[in-house]
Structures are given as C-alpha cells and as structure tokens.
A and B are shown apart, each in its own frame.
Chain A
C-alpha cells in the first residue's frame, strides 16, 4: 500500500494545489434548496404529503392515536406475525408511547433484540422472526422515508431480516425532507448526544428491477412495510 502522506502529497502535486487549504475555503452552498424545498408546511400538511407519497414506495400508511396504538399493533401482529414477533429493547420509547403494559402482556410472547446478547443470538432471532415492530426517529414526508439509528436495543439487522415490518412514528417528528433529519443527526453525532455507528434511512420495502426491469417488491429485506403514525404525539 502507499503511505498516506505520499498518496496525498502526490494528489496535491498533480493538481498543482497545495494541501491544507480547506480552513480558508470551507464549503458554502450556492443555494438553500435542500432546506427551502417543501418548507413552510404544518404537521397536518406534512402528514398528508407523507400519506400521499406512501403508495409509490409500497408502504401501508396508517394513523392512530396513543390510546388506539396497542389495538392497531395487535391487528398487525394478528395479520403478519404468525406467532413470531420481534421487538426492540427500547424502554424510553415503550414508556413514551404507553406501550409497556401492552409489551408485557403480549401472547404469544415476542422475541427481543437484546443488548449484550451478542451478534449471533440477535441475528438468529431476527432471521426467524416473521414480523418486527420498530421505532423511527423521523418520517420524511417528501420521500416517505423513516430514519433509525442503530442502538444497543434496536440493531441493524432488526430492520432487514424479519419478513414483515412496522415502524412507529410520532406525528410531531414528521419533517419535510431528509435534510431536516440530517440537520438533527449531524450536530447530535458531533456533540456526542447521539452515539451510534450507523443510521438507516429506509424508504418502503426492498425492491428490484434487475430482471427485465420488472419491478419485484420484497427482495432481501422485508416483503412489506407499514408506517404507523401516532397523531397525538
């Protein structure tokens, strides 16, 4: 391999531009389109924009309120889980959404992504789960994208291995575009407020057009995707 300094010095020499100029030439965007596009909408309007965009990414878009959340989740479990449900270990969210009692009384008992249980155990559980219910930070209305950083209680493969997937999102966390989500993550990572190795932006189901450009929904990831927005949160 080439030594880093040799490599970088060569690039500087070849381009005719000295190194370490960035401090005096930071990136200053020529426009604010990422921020201004789709700006100025109320949460009600953003909810409707997201709902309108959901079919294009094959998302079953549902809304409920905090009181109706357990019943709506039970409907999903009855329809999709086939007795093999996986949940994250995410105490703050269960508490905030009022789901602690619901979680503790589920029958049959669900599996959990368990912090400290290790790679193999968690992946094996996720692989054998028919359905997963996870929590998302944001819903980006424009593209109908949910965002979920990896945590000890909600790992990476949690989002990809189960066959059916439901994501719970607060209505207050619907943002216009992915830019607004990034506007949160960037400073949160830098300040250490958010500690994660990975952030997933997920837009609907996995899909492919690799065979004769025929759209096939559900390839390696979940075969279907449900977004459940809690309107009074």
Chain B
C-alpha cells in the first residue's frame, strides 16, 4: 500500500477543507447503531424495500438481457469520463456557455454554498424550489438558504418534502430518502400544514400535489442536482418519477444546477445508456417517468430558465484521483449497493452518520473529507460479503475499496487502538506458532465451558432448547464473553468449542490412521468409514446418509451394498488445460 492513498489530499495541497457537512447524528458509531436498533419500523421498512427491490431490479435487468455486457459498457463509459475528467468538464462548460448559461467551479462545499447563497441574494430570489439532490445536501445548502431573510425553500420531491416538514430530517436512503417514515408519521407532518385526511398514502400524495403545485407556480428559482452532464451538448440530464424536477425547471425563471464533478458523460448517447442502467438498478423500472435533457431556454420558447447556472463541485472527490480509490468516481448513485447490503439492512441509513450511507457511503465519506476523523468506523461497517460489488452497474469493486480503507487506516495511519492492537498481536502469536495453537485447541473447551449455556431464553426469560444444533454434542454456546470478545457475543451466539477428544483435528487424525490401516482392504475400509460416520453427532438426525463416491454410484446402479472404491471411481489429477479439451478431464488413462 502506497503511503499516498490518503495523504495527498486537496486539504494538504491547498489548505481547503472538504466534506465538512457530511456528518450528522451522534458522532459515536456504536451509539448511532444503538439508536437505530430501536427504530423497529425503519428496520422492517428497509428489509421490505431490499426484498422488493431485489425482485424488481433483477427482473428489469433480466428483461434487458446480457446484463454483464451492459455492465462492461457502463464501466467503460464511467472510466472514460473519470480518466479524461478535466477534458470533458472543459468541453461541457464551453458548451453551456455557448447556450447562454454560466459555469462555476467550486473546490469545496463552502465555495459552492457561498456562491449559491450570494446568487440568491443578488437575484433577490424569495421562493426556491428544489428537486431531490444529494449533492446539495452534501454542501449543506438547505441550512444556508434558510438563514437568508425572506427566502422560502421547498423540497419538491415527496420524500424530501416529508423530511423538510420534520425539521429537515436527514435522508436514510439515496433513492428513497424517507424510507424510515411511516404513513402515520406522514399524516401527522402533513396535518401541520392543513391536511385533514386519513393515513392512506394515495390521499397523502394527492394533498402534497395540491400544496406543491402552488409552490411550483410561485417559484422564482429552482436549484436542482444533475444525474449526468452531457459534455458535447452542454445539456443537463435529470431523471425523476414524480415530475417535480421538470415543473421546477420549467416554471422558475432561474435555474441553478449543482453537480458533483464526476457526473459527466461524453454525449447524449452515453447519457441514454447510463439512464437505462441507472433506472433499472435504482428502482427496477426500464426508465423513470421523466427523463429530461435541459439547458437555458431559447429566445422563442416561453418557459424554462432564462438564467442558467451550473456549479461544478469537487469537495474532496479529487482525493480519489490517481489513487486506488479512483473507481469510486464511476458511481452513478443508483443505490443498488445499499439495497443488497446486509449491514445497511441492520443499521439503517442513519447508522452510518453520513449523508451517503451504505457501501458507497463507506467508501466515499472518508474520501470526501480527506481523512478518517469522523468516519474511521465506517470501513468496519461491512461484512466483506461483496454483494455490493456484484450488483454495481458500473462495476465498482466496492468491497475491495472498503478493505483498502481498513488497510490505509491500520498500515498507513496506524489508527488501531491499544486493545485491537494487543488482540491482533496475541492472535498473531497464537496462530503463528503451531505449539501455541495446539495448546489453545487443547484447552479452549475447558476454558470456555464454565460460561457456556445450553438453550436460549424466550421472551418470558425461560430457557428453551436451541432451534439449531451445534456440531458439538454438548449443544452449548457462549452468550457472554469478557472484554473485547463481548463484541461478538453481544450480537450473536458463539458455539462452545468441542472437547479436545472430539474436535475436528482429533477426529481427522483418527480417521486418517484407521483408513491408512485399512488401505487395500475394501471391506475393512467401508466398515471403518461407517463407524466414523456414526460418530458424527448429526448422523442420527439425518439418517445414515453416505455421500461417498462409492455410495452414490451404488445408489445409481440400484445395488444395496455400497460398491467398493475402485480405480474407475477414484478421481485423479485434473489434467492440464490442453487435456481439458480432449475429453480426458478427470479420467484415468
């Protein structure tokens, strides 16, 4: 690992701090998780959303066909844009200006925020409408706008509007920001602005239509995000299902587009490809209801923005350039990585404490900040199952980048605490010396038996038998462990190690010895094998099932006695690659 992965940052080169508005909630990761554990509705909602989106997403991808080929193309387009990012941004800004728009570059969130708030004051805008945009949350724009006297800001996406009414609550998902709110909460929030109906989502949505229609019509400025900026046309591509972005952009005479600098594509054709992949990955549809390509209105057109500003934001994205983290800039914010993540499923969006949750947030948040001060825990909020990598439409190796963060934290930044360092050293010593390891295996059962429990406590506190049986015939497990080990037993059981005489190594040595003695005598070999299988504590529950080659062959041939192993059934070497094509694979000459 190079020492430059997180050392060469915008802050270190220029002194400009980035990513200052990402973090929210309790700064302590464990406390955030504990708070979110109590939100049972959010847990259920996330599980339901993940399950429903799985079906929709995979169906939409299957219907398209050759999804892996599409991923190759998506990856290539995004890599091309990241590789030649300055060139595409230059082309885009030239073309926006040719269309009569204005482009501004902001290296930090503060620069972007200050520019937009100054513009609001200069244009004397009072009524601002905003479609959903993660990058405006990233730069803390809403809070800054609300500090300007006589400025009213309305989030026009239904979910964001709900969050706005709840004191600008933070989003818990990139695509479904109000996933943690139920219909009753929405009803109560809407009652604050005059809703008198029931908790039916249809009725609630119709009410929001009426309220927001007025806000659209009175708006003098829209502030939007950007799904993709089209370099060769100077157009901005925005997709929504509700149509709120289009109404915002059509009606307000001034539009400000805030875009992360990497959200660029070469031409309309690549935008079209990425939209198709984005929507299938994000919501499992073929395309969103509205997919628009916008720029300043022409003189003979009636509506659309007369004044058009694009603010291109770095805010720490450049920290990934030229490092092994560069692939994160391929991201198209589809959130499919959140929708397959087992950690997100359990700790929810707010457990991450960053406006970017889930696997993408784990990788992106420390990069945007350029350090691990606030997000040092996030790379450990991952089981490295790699489901995120497998689902990513643009093939970002997310789990590898998460692991890379851990490497940088430990190897380059030396951020391990004393307890973790000591534990790792002890484990390293124990597993590095065979005598110590064998000694540990000899005494682990005795040492842990004193605190091992049998069965589990039900809701009344009564101990009932386990539903699953450990391989060890004792059937005991550890529910509580001292010190740092308690982190595991706090959330899941740890099977009690078996007695030394019954552990795997003893069993395996015994089997090898007996098989060796019986070698050459098929009858004796099979008898010994049957005895060994009979010792397996699971055998009585599942019947005397022999899955050996000889037994399977016997079953196929209809014979009752297992046929002895012979030369014909014993697999030999797999053979070379050249041999594989000859049909001799696995066969003996």
* A and B form one complex: yes
Instruction: Give me the interface of A with B, judged by CB distance under 8 Å.
Output: 1-4, 7-12, 14-17, 19-22, 25, 27, 29-31, 33-34, 37, 53, 57, 113-119, 121-123, 127, 142-145, 150-152, 155-157, 159-161, 177-179, 182-183, 185-186, 189-190, 195-214, 216, 218-221
User: How far does the alpha carbon of A103 sit from the alpha carbon of B504 in the complex, in Å?
Assistant: 86
Chain A residues, Cβ within 8 Å of B273: 34, 179
Contact of A220 among B66, B243, B261 (CB under 8 A): B243
Are A34 and B269 interface neighbours, CB within 8 A? Answer: yes
- The listed residue with most B CB atoms (<10 A of its CB), out of A21, A53, A186, is A186
Given A4-B103, A213-B52: A119 in contact with B72 (beta carbons within 8 A): no
Residues in chain A near residue B10, CB distance under 8 A = 10, 14
B85 / chain A contacts, CB cutoff of 8 Å? 11, 15
Query: Is the beta-carbon distance between B99 and A197 smaller than 8 angstroms?
Result: yes
Question: Which residues of chain B come closer than 8 Å to A157, judged between CB atoms?
Answer: 247, 250-251, 303
- Bound complex: CA A114 to CA B106 (Å): 40
Q: Tell me which residues across on chain B come within 8 A of A117, comparing CB atoms.
A: 302
Check if B201 sits within 8 Å of A200, measured CB to CB.
no
Which single residue of chain A is at the shortest CB-CB distance from B94? A4
Residue-wise, chain B 9-27 has the 8 Å CB interface mask toward A (1 for contact) of 0100110000000000000
**Given A14-B322, A150-B304, A201-B287, A123 and B217 contact (CB-CB distance below 8 Å):** yes
Indicate whether B268 reaches chain A with its CB closer than 8 angstroms: yes
State the CA gap A198–B245 with chains docked (Å). 13
Candidates A37, A115, A198; contact of B304 at CB < 8 Å: A198
Within 8 Å by CB of A200, from B246, B253, B302, lies B246
Nearest CB on B from A21, distance (A): 6
For the complex, is B496 an interface residue (Cβ under 8 Å from A)? no
Which of B202-210, B376-384, B518-526, B569-577 touches A? B202-210
Q: Could you list 21 A-B pairs, sorted by A, with CB under 8 Å?
A: A1-B104, A11-B85, A15-B318, A17-B83, A21-B84, A22-B87, A27-B77, A27-B266, A29-B73, A116-B300, A117-B302, A156-B303, A160-B243, A160-B250, A182-B268, A197-B297, A198-B301, A200-B246, A212-B182, A212-B183, A220-B243
By the criterion CB–CB under 8 Å, are B272 and A182 in contact?
Answer: yes
Contact A4 B93 (CB under 8 A): yes
**Residue in chain A with minimal CB distance to B53:** A213
Is the pair A25, B303 in contact by a Cβ cutoff of 8 Å? no
A17 to B321, CA, bound (A): 10
* Residue B581 CB within 8 A of the other chain: no
The residues of B with any CB-CB pair to A shorter than 8 Å are 8, 10, 13-14, 45, 48-49, 52, 64-66, 69-70, 72-73, 76-77, 80, 83-91, 93, 99, 103-107, 111, 115, 156-159, 162, 176-179, 181-183, 186, 201-202, 204-206, 208-209, 212-213, 216-217, 232-233, 241-244, 246-247, 249-251, 253, 261, 266-273, 275-276, 283, 285-298, 300-304, 312, 314, 318, 321-322, 326
Q: A22-B87, A57-B289, A157-B250 are in contact. Are A211 and B205 (CB under 8 A)?
A: yes
CA distance A117 to B302 in the complex (A): 7
Q: Is the CB of B304 within 8 A of A156?
A: yes
Known: A31-B69, A152-B302. A206 touches B289 (CB 8 A): yes
**Shortest Cβ distance from B161 into A: residue:** A210
Provide the bound-state CA to CA distance between A123 and B87, in Å.
39
- Nearest residue (CB) in B for A118 is B302
B289 touches A203 (CB 8 A): yes
Q: Is the CB of B8 within 8 A of A14?
A: yes
- A197 near B304: Cβ-Cβ < 8 Å: yes
A118 to B304, CA, bound (A): 11
10 other A-B residue contacts (CB within 8 Å) besides A118-B302, A213-B45: A15-B318, A15-B321, A22-B88, A31-B72, A179-B269, A190-B232, A201-B290, A202-B289, A211-B158, A220-B216
Among B90, B111, B159, the residue within 8 A (CB) of A210 is B159
CB of A145 within 8 A of CB of B287, answer yes
A122/B302 contact (C-beta < 8 A), A14-B322, A208-B241 known: yes
A7-B107, A156-B250 are contacts. A211–B298 as well, Cβ < 8 Å?
no
* Pair B158/A210 contact, Cβ less than 8 Å: yes
Question: Which chain B residues border A14 with CB–CB below 8 Å?
Answer: 8, 10, 13, 318, 321-322
Contact present for A216 and B247 (CB under 8 Å): no
